[in-house]
């Protein structure tokens, strides 16, 4: 991350600390929001790198809340990249109907399949590992949307899991 540390072309608003760039989407940078401590840590926010963004609005209003803490960002990113996305096959999901309890029912299904929860995540991001498959899920702090990514090495197992997830209220989506 330090190799990609660059100062933005615009002046940072006070109380934001640049911590890195998004290598998958270089249009965004990550910052610690030092204005609102959440417990012992600070929220991680992202901001578009475009020098003229936003037009006619204050810059600080356009930070997107990503993670409740820096620890959540580091653990969630490491699990998503080094475990889920490293598997041969990936599928992305959202809730078909976002109603109370759907996430917990999904977590119960994962546990019944032998997945264990990765305990280091404390906020809106969750991670589950079952050996032959892994799932990373999160709920956006800004708009509340829920997303999950499934990783699996076996094509038949992946198909079975996708069908099972659909039976339990998830809808498969394509990401750009």
Q: Could you tell me the CATH number of the domain that includes residue 144? A: 3.30.310.180
Examine the domain organization and report whether 100 and 41 are in the same domain: no
Q: State how far the Cα of 80 lies from the Cα of 94, in Å rounded to an integer.
A: 16
Examine the domain organization and report whether 93 and 128 are in the same domain: yes
Q: State how far the Cα of 76 lies from the Cα of 67, in Å rounded to an integer.
A: 9
Question: Where is the domain boundary, 14, 42, 67?
Answer: 67
Question: Where is the domain boundary, 49, 67, 85?
Answer: 67
Helix (H) or strand (E) holding 125: strand 125-129
Residue 138 banded pLDDT, cuts 50, 70, 90:
confident
Q: Which residues pair with 170 in a beta bridge?
A: 95
Each residue of 66-89: pLDDT tens digit? Answer: 888 888 888 888 899 999 999 999
Q: State how far the Cα of 80 lies from the Cα of 27, in Å rounded to an integer.
A: 20
Examine the domain organization and report whether 57 and 106 are in the same domain: no
Each residue of 85-116: pLDDT tens digit? Answer: 999 999 999 887 777 777 888 889 999 999 99
Examine the domain organization and report whether 159 and 84 are in the same domain: yes
Range of the domain at 20: 2-67
Q: State how far the Cα of 126 lies from the Cα of 154, in Å rounded to an integer.
A: 23
pTM recorded for the entire structure: 0.77
Examine the domain organization and report whether 61 and 88 are in the same domain: no
Helix axes 102-112, 155-167, angle to 10 degrees: 140
């Amino acid at each position: 991350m330090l190799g990609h540390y660059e100062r933005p072309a615009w002046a940072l608003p006070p109380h934001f600390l640049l911590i890195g760039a998004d290598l998958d989407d270089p249009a965004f940078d990550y910052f610690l929001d030092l204005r609102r401590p959440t417990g012992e840590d600070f929220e991680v926010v992202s901001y578009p790198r475009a020098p003229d963004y936003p037009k006619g609005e204050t810059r600080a209003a356009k930070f997107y809340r990503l993670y409740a803490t820096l620890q959540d960002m580091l653990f969630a990113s490491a699990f998503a990249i080094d475990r889920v996305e490293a598997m041969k096959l990936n599928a992305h999901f959202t809730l078909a109907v976002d109603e109370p309890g759907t996430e917990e029912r999904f977590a119960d299904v994962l546990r019944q399949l032998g997945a264990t929860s990765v305990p280091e995540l404390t906020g809106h991001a969750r991670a589950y590992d079952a050996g032959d498959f892994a799932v990373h899920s999160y709920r956006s702090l800004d708009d509340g949307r829920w997303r999950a990514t499934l990783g699996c090495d076996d094509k038949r197992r992946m198909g079975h899991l996708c069908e099972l997830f659909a039976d339990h209220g998830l809808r498969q989506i394509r990401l750009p």
